[in-house]
Chains A and B, each alone.
Chain A
Amino acid sequence: MASMMKEFTKGLWNELPPFRLVLGLCPVLAVTTTANNGLGMGAAVIFVLSLSNVIISLVRNIIPKKVRIVCFIAIAASLVVTVEMLMQAFAYPLYQQLGIFVPLIVVNCIILGRAEAFAAKNPPHLALADGLGMGIGFTLSLTFLGSLREIFGSGTWFGVSLFGPDFQPFTFMVQAPGAFVCLGLILAGMNFLNVWQAKRKGVELDPNFDAGCAGCAACKGLEKIVNQKKLERLEAAKG
């Protein structure tokens, strides 16, 4: 029980998906024009992520290692189809608002990242706790960013007008550039917090520290090449 609690709470702060593990940015940027959309997208992700984690964890010993990624994708895709149909039946306006980003939950790196990093190595009850925690963390982050953009960008919160009719909305926030800049500033704030905490505890931070797609194994392979090129360039600059 204690270990389940630990896996659940880590997704809420220490490994908060979009802000700490920089994962699954596309929906984070795209659907957060209003707080409501962020909440709806988050709910869909909670459903897919916790169920896919449980199913993958149940079949983790049966799947051959070589084809595991395709199996994970197939499991996630069937759950996404389920969510699509549920949303079409019960939340059609939201489904239309989110548009193409509902089917794109399949390729959200949070799903594959958690499957690969956690569900494939742990028993179902822990995988469920991990999926729920990560999903709720993702939802809270999306709602937070959505609220921020909606309040400043259109002067409303969950559709309720906040500042009265004289408010001049800061439309930059609800357009594409606003999404990028807002998320960049939030990530910078998170990094600032990390640096400050490390200083207070007297821990040395990794000098090459760079918040990147940490859980995405795919990008790890590229890191090597990038570092090598960096070294080559530095040496060329010296010589």
Chain B
Amino acid sequence: MDIFLLFISAIFVNNIVLAQYLGNCPYLGCSKEKSVSIGMGAAVIFVTIMATLFTFLIQKHVLLPFNLGYLQTIVFILVIAALVQFVEMFLKKMVPPLYKALGIFLPLITTNCAVLGVAILVQRKEYDFVTSLLYAVAAGTGFMLALVVLAGIRERFEITRIPRAMRGVPIGLIMAGIMSLAFMAFKGMIA
């Protein structure tokens, strides 16, 4: 039951983009086309899980025993950067079809604050190992949901007459605001 609540809360109530303001650059940058947004979302889920797994183990077995907690930021970001590079190389050699689908998105994800954000959040919330991984899955899914929905809406914008000054990012942001307003309604679900 707790796991179910965690999922609902991370996907809908505390959606990582719409309520916690993480990962806004790819949210606006990759939401112009539905197929692109699906690829980006899948890549974010994948990398978030991997990054949370590795950073969690490093935090528990390297940083804390040696009293190096203050190095968290620098270690986490370097681990994520290296991890993304390795995953890219591995997929290229071993799983070409997956590389073809996710390949172009992987380098973008190093600087996606949702990935580093989730890795740091699970440490600050002091989740245990399994909960952390589940939270990573849920947060990634929440990101993908918000991204794909926005992409679907923005595809319609192309055939709509929008004032010149509002085109592109401004209308995207206002749309995100309306979506965020809608997502606030989910708060009642876990009251």
Binding site for B on A (CB under 8 A): 22-26, 29-30, 69-70, 73-74, 77-78, 80-81, 84-85, 99-100, 103-104, 106-109, 112, 175-181, 183-185, 187-189, 191-192, 194-195, 209-213, 216, 218-219, 221-222, 225-226, 229-230
Main secondary structure of the interface of A (DSSP, over half): helix
* B107 contacts A by Cβ under 8 Å: yes
Interface range on chain B: under 10, 10 to 19, 20 to 34, or 35 or more? 35 or more
CB interface residues, B 90-112, toward A, < 8 Å: 104, 107-108, 110-112
In the assembled complex, the Cα of A219 lies from the Cα of B40 at a distance in Å of: 11
CB atoms of B73 and A226 under 8 A apart: no
Nearest 5 CB-CB pairings of A with B: A184-B173, A180-B177, A210-B168, A181-B177, A192-B165
The segment from B1-9, B116-124, B134-142 that touches chain A is B116-124
Closest to A103 in B: B73
Q: How far does the alpha carbon of A213 sit from the alpha carbon of B121 in the complex, in Å?
A: 26
Contact of B178 among A177, A191, A222 (CB under 8 A): A177
0/1 string, B136-169, CB within 8 A of A gives 1: 0000000000000000000000100001111111
Q: How far is the CA of A26 from the CA of B113 in the complex (A)?
A: 8
Q: Helix, strand, loop or mixed for chain B's interface?
A: helix
Which residues B171-191 have CB closer than 8 A to chain A?
A: 171-174, 176-178, 180-181, 184
Give the residue of A24, A100, A183, A212 whose beta carbon is less than 8 angstroms from that of B29. A212
Q: Are A73 and B29 in contact (CB under 8 A)?
A: no
Closest B residue to A220 by beta carbon equals B29
Within 8 Å by CB of B77, from A106, A183, A184, A210, lies: A106
B21 contacts across to A, CB distance below 8 A: 26, 29-30, 176, 179
**CB-CB under 8 A for A81 and B74, given A180-B176, A183-B173:** yes
With both chains docked as a complex, state the minimum distance between the C-beta of B102 and any C-beta of chain A, in angstroms.
Answer: 13
State whether B104 touches A73 (Cβ < 8 A): no
Contact assessment for A104 and B113 in the assembled complex, using a CB-CB cutoff below 8 Å: yes
Q: Is B66 interfacial (CB 8 A cutoff)?
A: no
Q: Give the distance in Å from the alpha carbon of A210 to the alpha carbon of B180 in the complex.
A: 23
Report A-chain residues with C-beta under 8 Å of the C-beta of B164.
191-192, 195
B165 touches A176 (CB 8 A): no
Let me know if B30 is at the binding interface, CB within 8 A: yes
Chain B residues, CB < 8 A from A112: 111
